[in-house]
Amino acid sequence: MTLLAVERIKLFTTRSPWWCMVMALVVTVGFAALVAGTSNADDPVTVATTQFGYGFGLVVIMVMAALAVTTEYRFGTIRATFQAVPSRSKALLAKTTVVAVLAGVIGEITAFGSWGIAKLIKGSADLAINSAYEWRVVAGTGLIYALAAVIAVSVGTMIRHSAGAISLVLIYSQLAENLIQIIPNVGPKIHRWLPFNMAQHFLTGRPDAGARGADGPPISEITYSPWVGLLYFGVFALVLLIISLWVVNRRDA
């Protein structure tokens, strides 16, 4: 518990987490307000489309998570941490836990905030959260944000440089996975099993009849259970975390 408290204090005494939290909230809720405000009878707002800003919030969260560890390497405070805590694995796990919990909380606040602002703007729209799909696309955001934070912390630990870590996680999650689809014949098959696509499948797999993804997270066409997607994404995050623990114990701080 002491390690968790220390990591919480270190995280919140820097400005970047606060700026990232505000940006994630403003961007996601702002896009939900825009979608709701521009909807009409022919293109009504739905529970899923209130989550239009999900991807933008995810980007901010991964930046925050990567900075949480790379900033310590940049200013050399990680050395003091490892001197105070001989077990580097415990120190890194404590940091990862704090960042992941914060990311999960932010995810839930932004998701339900987006849904709430849309409901406030379009009171006449059917925005009741009833089905399993609707619950996943809203409440599931926190789980994806938390796991994405674990991935970003792990990458940041291995690379140690803010620019490199942020570039890698953003280029891969936002660009590389989608570009793989253009590889002839095998591209779409490979893409089905890539981690962030699996995370997307958890949120939007097996949609309700008539669900659309044009103004929200793209509808997943994968046929197996969405919970398989969450498990796959979680295992991917765990593997990266284990690798980062091995790396941090093998090299000098």
pLDDT digits (tens, 9 = 90+) for 131-183: 889 999 999 999 999 999 999 999 999 999 999 999 999 999 999 998 998 99
The span from the first CA to the last CA of the chain, in angstroms, equals 24
Look-up of token digits 């590889």: 183
Residue 179 in tokens:
């570009």
The residues near 35 (Cβ < 8 Å, ≥ 6 apart) are: 45, 49, 50, 52, 118, 215, 216
Type of residue at 10: K
Predicted TM-score of the model (pTM): 0.92
Q: pLDDT at residue 211 above 70?
A: no
* Nearest in space to 61 (alpha carbons), one of 173, 145, 153: 145
* Nearest in space to 179 (alpha carbons), one of 202, 166, 197, 165: 197
Which range is most confident: 79-83, 129-133, 248-252?
129-133
The 10s digit of each residue's pLDDT in 14-49 is 888 899 999 999 999 999 999 998 888 778 888 989
Residue 137, judged by CB atoms within 10 A of its CB (0-12, 13-18, 19+), counts as buried
Q: pLDDT at residue 209 above 60?
A: no
Encode burial over 44-76: b for 16+ CB neighbours within 10 A, e otherwise.
ebbbbbbbbbbbbbbbbbbbbbbbbbbbbbeee
**pLDDT tier, 223 (very low <50, low <70, confident <90, very high otherwise):** confident
Round to whole Å and give the CA distance between 246 and 188.
33
Q: pLDDT at residue 214 above 60?
A: no
pLDDT number for residue 112: 97
